[in-house]
Chains A and B, each alone.
Chain A
Amino acid sequence: MISNFAFLVLDIYLAHSVNAFRHWAEYIPLYFSMGAPLLLTIALVARSCGRVGLWVALGHVVGWSALTVGLAGVLFHLQSAFFVERTLKSLTYAAPFAAPLAYTGLGLLLVLDRMISAQSREWAQWVLLLALGGFAGNFVLSLTDHAVNGFFHATEWLPVISSAFAVGFLIAPFFGPVNRPYLVVCAFVMSAQALVGFLGFEFHVAADFNGPSTVMLQNFIDGAPPFAPLLLPNLMVLALISLWALDAARPEESETESIA
């Protein structure tokens, strides 16, 4: 969680540099991403010192704040174009409206950790839901972001397709118990997501290195977002944790019917 928030500092800096932090609110996620790792580190130290209360309190503060930042971000992003035209096209060319939900996801995860025992099946299902939401968001994001580019390169369909598969596989456990082989298949599907993510990272960086500006930083700001594809391996980790926890909390095979 700490590294996730810390990484968002760089990501937000590049993303909001596109319009030079024109709106004051664009600084909020930047500063929040700087402060959150600090508070969460304090929380970790506090827990190791036995001050669980402080760990819980700081987790709630950061978690609920992240949730608010994320939801407010969605509204701000949509306001950039969607509310003016309210068309699918303006949704495509609006600021990536689903991107701020990364904060909401992280916030929910923090709050979840403070409210439900990590050993429970319920916790595993909630984490799986967040991973599922992440892949669903990534499906929408990669679809709209690459639509801006007109899917000029066929490879731009890869994250759309892989995210759709991830959603399809991760949704099943919510409709009934699943057996271990299914979870293993899910784990392989998740690994494929990571592969697509790293491949995307390479494609995005390569495109930026060949950008039109003589200033490399400008190419990274205006070009393909270099860190966006890394959301896939990030979500893979989350999904694998949830699958592992789900397996650990799985009732005996003999006691239940399973989805194979």
Chain B
Amino acid sequence: MVGFALIVSAFLINSNRPVSNAGGKGDAFTRASGKCAECHAQLQYSVVHEFELSAHSRRGLTCLDCHRPAANQRTKEHHGFVLSAKLTAGNCRSCHEGIYQEFLRSGHAAVSWAAIYGEKGLSAEEVAFAERYQPGRAKRPPHPFVSLEGADAIKGGCEQCHSVGRPNEDGTIGNCTACHTRHTSSVAIARLPTTCGQCHMGPDHSQIEIYEESKHGVLFAAQQSSLNLAAPARDLTTRDMFVPTCATCHMSGLNGRKITHNPSERLSEFLADPITNRRPNAAAGKANMQAICSQCHAHETIERVYAQAQKVVDLTNDRVNMAQSIVDGLRKDGVLKGKPFENPIDFVLFDLWHYDGRTAKHGAYMGGADFVQWHGNYPMLQKTVELRAMASDLRRKR
């Protein structure tokens, strides 16, 4: 009797355990559901705790689901488990292939890496694929600063953000954790302005500062606690996000709109370029973005903002063209010699479009008036005067 009672109770206890803890996909997966935490909860508590907070955990995934080797990955043995030696987007795409494909077409993928290192490290296929969606942005030489500042400076600086599109050993591009973080794999964190602001900040791409100045940013600061940042992507409505963050406008599928992991789908111009031109998908990009704008704003308001922003873009193009022609003239006349960034005037020109020009254009589209004026047009005017003075001085000294 006692023996039977023990056996029955053992079966009952086991049958009431969660599926992830009591079998399903295999013994290694089951073991991983708690075995990993046995050590790591003590060694790196936050890692385990962050995972426990995640949607992955709620859905019964185990550590092994993400840490198992994906295709073409080097493996390592770790306390009885075979793990991936280095996790990449290849691990995420095992379950999120569609999202990965969207990401590949975006400026966050190979072209982000190419902005520093050019084609180096990218395969011919990766360059060709990226060129199809972001023409002229993958098939390019390394940025001059790579050789001028040195590998260590670039690795510790530029690469930290641009590695979002790094080529991986396994043939994939990038790492989703740049936005979603590692163990939380959080959609809520990816929707936070501060997440985008990790890289989209500073004088060269001051989107986060502009956002904070804008009405969108002010409302977010005031009402963040009322927003449902963790709302499921497919069901996201303006009731969840009645104040937009970067992700809301550039990626989210608000009120049934198409979700995208390729922000370029909603962009119509290359604002980050010295001279802004229309994107190949300009009409669709504008329509897509305006469709999101229209979830909160009237059509007239949207058109007015776009028209006003276009004027700032055109004005900035004129100013950059003018500045560029001054420096080009010096080179043409043999007044300015040497490689790029060997003369002080090169830096003035670079700052003019790279800092001030970009800031003015982004400010215009994102509702950051101060950035259009005092961080954009004003310093552009100042640097134009400075350029002219420097050019005159150089010609006089010749």
Q: Which residues of A contact B (CB under 8 A)?
A: 18-19, 80-81, 84, 88-90, 92-95, 139, 143, 147-153, 160-161, 163-169, 171, 211-214, 218-219, 222-223
Contact = CB atoms under 8 A, between A and B. Distances in A.
Given A160-B10, A212-B77, A214-B77, A89 B27 contact: no
Q: How large is the interface on B (under 10, 10 to 19, 20 to 34, 35 or more residues)?
A: 20 to 34
Contacts of B38: 80-81, 93-95
A211 B80 contact: yes
Interface in B301-360: none
Interface in B29-45: 30-31, 34-35, 37-39, 41-42
Contacts of B17: 88-89, 147
Nearest to A147: B14
Contact of A164 (B6, B31, B41, B80): B6
Contacts of A88: 13, 17
Nearest to B16: A88
A22 to B, nearest CB: 9
B23 A167 contact: no
Contacts of A219: 80
Contacts of A19: 39
A92 B21 contact: yes
Closest A-B pairs by Cβ, 6 of them: A168-B3, A150-B30, A150-B23, A93-B34, A222-B80, A152-B27
B2 interface: yes
B41 A143 contact: no
A171 to B, nearest CB: 5
B335 to A, nearest CB: 66
B26 A164 contact: no
A203 to B, nearest CB: 13
B80 A80 contact: no
B27 A149 contact: yes
Contacts of B3: 164-169
B76 to A, nearest CB: 10
B268 to A, nearest CB: 51
A168 B23 contact: no
B79 A150 contact: no
Contacts of A167: 2-3, 6
Given A89-B21, A163-B6, A164-B7, 10 more contacts: A18-B79, A81-B38, A89-B34, A143-B14, A149-B27, A165-B3, A168-B2, A168-B3, A212-B81, A212-B82
Contacts of B82: 212
A149 B14 CA distance: 11
Contact of B30 (A152, A166, A169, A211): A152
A223 B21 CA distance: 18
B31 A148 contact: yes
B41 A151 contact: no
Main secondary structure of the interface of B (DSSP, over half): helix
A169 B3 CA distance: 8
A167 B4 CA distance: 10
Contacts of B21: 89, 92, 147, 150
27 contacts: A19-B39, A80-B38, A80-B42, A81-B38, A88-B17, A90-B34, A92-B21, A92-B34, A93-B35, A93-B37, A139-B6, A148-B30, A148-B34, A148-B35, A149-B30, A150-B27, A152-B27, A152-B30, A161-B7, A164-B3, A164-B7, A167-B2, A167-B3, A212-B81, A212-B82, A219-B80, A222-B79
B22 interface: yes
Q: Which of A19, A93, A94, A171 has the most CB of B within 10 A?
A: A93
Contact of B10 (A89, A150, A164, A214): A164
A204 to B, nearest CB: 13
A146 to B, nearest CB: 9
B156 interface: no
B31 A149 contact: yes
A160 B21 CA distance: 18
A151 B37 CA distance: 19
Nearest to B36: A93
Given A89-B21, A214-B77, A168 B6 contact: yes
A207 B1 CA distance: 34
B24 interface: yes
Contacts of A168: 1-4, 6
Contacts of B77: 212-214, 218
A175 to B, nearest CB: 10
A99 to B, nearest CB: 14
A81 B41 contact: yes
B80 A212 contact: yes
A148 B36 CA distance: 11
A171 B3 CA distance: 10
B2 A151 contact: no
Nearest to A168: B3
Nearest to B11: A157
Contacts of A169: 3
A45 B232 CA distance: 75
A156 B1 CA distance: 22
Contacts of B22: 147, 150-151
B80 to A, nearest CB: 3
Nearest to A156: B27
B39 A84 contact: no
Contacts of A148: 30-31, 34-35
Nearest to B45: A84
A96 to B, nearest CB: 11
A21 B34 CA distance: 20
Contacts of A93: 34-35, 37-38
Contacts of B24: 150
Contacts of A152: 23, 26-27, 30
B80 A223 contact: yes
Contacts of B2: 164, 167-168, 171
Contacts of A222: 79-80
Contacts of B35: 93, 148
B36 to A, nearest CB: 9
Contacts of B81: 212
